[in-house]
Amino acid sequence: MSALWSRNGWWVRRLAILPVHLLLFAVVVFFLVKLIPGDPVAVLSGGQRMTPEQYEAARASLGLTGTVFGQLGAFLVNTVTLDLGNSVLTGTSVLAEMGSRLPETVELAVMAMVVSSLVAVGLGFLVVLRPRNLVSRAVASYSRAAGAVPDFCLGVAGIFVFYSVLHWAPAPIGRYDTLLNPPPRTTGFPFLDALFSSDTALMGSMLAHLWLPVGVLVVAYAPMLVKLFIRSLDQAKNAQATKFRIASGASRRMVMVSIARRALPATVAMFGTIFGFMVGGAVVVEQLFAIPGMGEYAVQAVTRSDFVSLRGFLLIVGALSLLVFFLVDVVTMLLDPRRRPGVAVAGG
């Protein structure tokens, strides 16, 4: 039993802390949204005069009556039972709205993440192994300036060049041609649904609409990934272990594999960060390409001071990020036992 615990305790402990983080986050979100100035009831009524009874009824329906702690308790219970409330203005369920919008954003972010990791790994190896190559130099200096050209600038430039001048991309409106029918809903992720429905016209249209937004995210965020990857590869390359392998006459391929293996935990660890960047980037890019995702929803909620929607949005994005961080932590600990909690490292 104790052997089982000592072998598995690290991830069980990490898993147990996840709900605690989520709960803490929910409390923070509650108070943050509570601090927003302005009277939500006034927003709801649109400035119409209300009798005191109507006013009280509206407050009660928004969960604004009682003490702050009473409200917090009710909010937490609702959140745990996945009841995120209804939008103050449209009255639609926040959870249902999130259900249709979250997959759009996550799909975009994940696609961009996959492409940029492939790009980062390829270019990272190139730069570290052939530092004097012309391409490597260009890549290294672009990645050093990572983040100088923000995603929305690249997006506008991309639309201008590829839609307006070259006509390689369709009009930046939505996920697919407006004349086509939406795919039958099986997974909720539009691209996967189209893939499963074997509707080739829809599939082609989606690919045509997606390559530019995904490309924009990759060009905007891959440099950061490349920079981090080059750094961890460099560290692994200059380590004693590499010298030992070279000195003992290992083949070039084996030395390579050893460098990659030692750089891997640090590489995986940066995925949490890059996922955050991608979701943030997707929020902006959605706005540009008129994709009905989370970003559009949040911007609407902010401009209309719809506090229930805003709260739901924050909770969902926060839960998603915490989940990704959890997965990343577990994978890094799996790859590098020294990172597990409670492990004492000699000299480290």
| Interface with another protein (CB under 8 A) | 21, 24-25, 28, 32-33, 35-37, 144-145, 147-153, 155-157, 159-160, 163-165, 171-172, 272, 276-277, 279-281, 283-284, 287-288, 295, 298-299, 301-303, 305, 307, 310, 313-314, 317-318, 321-322, 324-325
For 224, 245, 274, the CA distances from 271, given in Å and listed in that order, are 11, 29, 5
- What is the smallest separation between the CB atom of 11 and another protein, expressed in angstroms? 18
CB-count exposure of residue 331 (10 Å: 0-12, 13-18, 19+): middle
Nearer to another protein, 120 or 288 (CB): 288
Q: Please, which residue, 27 or 57, has the CB nearer to another protein?
A: 27
In the complex, minimum distance from the CB of residue 344 to another protein, in angstroms, rounded to a whole number:
16
Amino acid at residue number 241: A
Three-state DSSP class for residue 105: helix
DSSP state of 49: -
HSE-up of 142 (CA within 13 Å, CB side)?
Answer: 18
Least separation in angstroms between residue 69's CB and another protein is 18
202 or 224: CB nearest another protein: 224
Task: Kindly report each contact of residues 17-20 with a partner whose C-beta sits within 8 Å and lies 24 or more positions away, as own/partner.
Answer: 18/322, 18/323, 18/326
93 has which bridge partners? Answer: 86
Q: How far is the CB of 40 from another protein (least distance, A)?
A: 12
DSSP lists the bridge partners of residue 86 as 93
Q: Which is nearer to another protein, 206 or 317 (CB)?
A: 317
Which CB, 172 or 183, lies closer to another protein? Answer: 172
Question: Closest approach of Cβ 56 to another protein, in Å?
Answer: 25
Nearer to another protein, 214 or 274 (CB): 274
| Structure token pair of residue 211 | 């390559």
Give the shortest CB-153-to-another protein separation in angstroms: 4
Q: Is 113 exposed, middle or buried (0-12, 13-18, 19+ CB in 10 A)?
A: buried
